[in-house]
């Protein structure tokens, strides 16, 4: 029995498991750095339909959405919250914008029937906070919860199934939040669940090594 390796498969496997590849593009909202940390106002408003201000994301995934704010942590420092650092990097997204309501969305490449782990860090703008945050996956609302107060980060985790080759993730403020402050998100990550990865590894291993008679 001879074993023949298909050279491209090990490269595909390298992104999974511990330190798995994040399926979300620009989950920490850093590239490109849109704000000048040396001068106010330390935030930029992106309106519904804007697909360029936040790399990889589009603003306004729901009917009635108005805007979101790309916020540099310096904004909160200036407003009296010296310990309100971004969870990752220096920028975060206020999902209520100026004004709200607002949301951001991204289409994720998925495998039908496979399970995925979604996680993100959340907090609230100090204006009128804490604020409600809505999570949609594949067109369905999977959570609607009160985010922590300003300066306090909590990481939310979800186990979600994909039903198609493309799955839309939407993170939004309360649809009735018309203020200039809302829930804040950072460090958005989607990876295959370990069980799904194990099945994927097994299936790929059958491709990697095949019997030559």
The span from the CA of 119 to the CA of 116, in Å, is 10
- The CATH class for the domain spanning 22-207 reads mainly beta
Cβ-in-10-Å burial (0-12, 13-18, 19+) of 91 comes to buried
pLDDT in tens, 14-58: 333 446 799 999 999 997 676 666 667 889 999 999 999 999 999
| Domain segments of the chain as ranges | 22-207
Strand order in the sheet with 91-94: 43-47, 67-72, 91-94, 183-192, 115-124, 154-161
Predicted TM-score (pTM) of the model is 0.82
pLDDT in tens, 134-163: 999 999 999 999 999 998 999 999 999 999
């Amino acid at each position: 029995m001879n074993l023949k390796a298909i050279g491209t498969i090990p490269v595909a496997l390298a992104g999974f498991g511990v330190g798995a590849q994040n399926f979300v593009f620009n989950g920490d909202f850093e590239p490109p750095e849109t704000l000048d940390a040396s001068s106010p106002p330390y935030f930029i408003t992106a309106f519904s339909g804007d697909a360029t201000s936040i790399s990889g994301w589009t603003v306004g995934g729901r009917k009635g959405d108005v805007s979101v704010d790309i916020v540099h942590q310096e904004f909160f420092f200036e407003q009296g919250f010296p310990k309100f650092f971004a969870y990752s990097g220096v920028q975060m997204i206020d999902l209520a914008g100026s004004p709200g309501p607002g949301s951001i969305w991204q289409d994720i490449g998925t495998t039908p029937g496979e399970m995925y782990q979604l996680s993100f860090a959340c907090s609230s703008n100090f204006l009128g906070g804490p604020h409600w945050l809505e999570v949609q996956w594949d067109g369905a609302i999977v959570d609607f919860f009160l985010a922590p107060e300003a300066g306090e980060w909590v990481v939310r985790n979800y186990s979600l199934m994909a039903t198609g080759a493309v799955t839309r993730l939407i993170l939004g403020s309360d649809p009735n939040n018309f203020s200039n402050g809302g829930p804040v998100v950072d460090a958005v990550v989607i990876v295959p669940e370990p069980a799904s990865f194990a099945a994927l590894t097994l299936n790929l291993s059958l491709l990697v090594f095949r019997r030559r008679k």
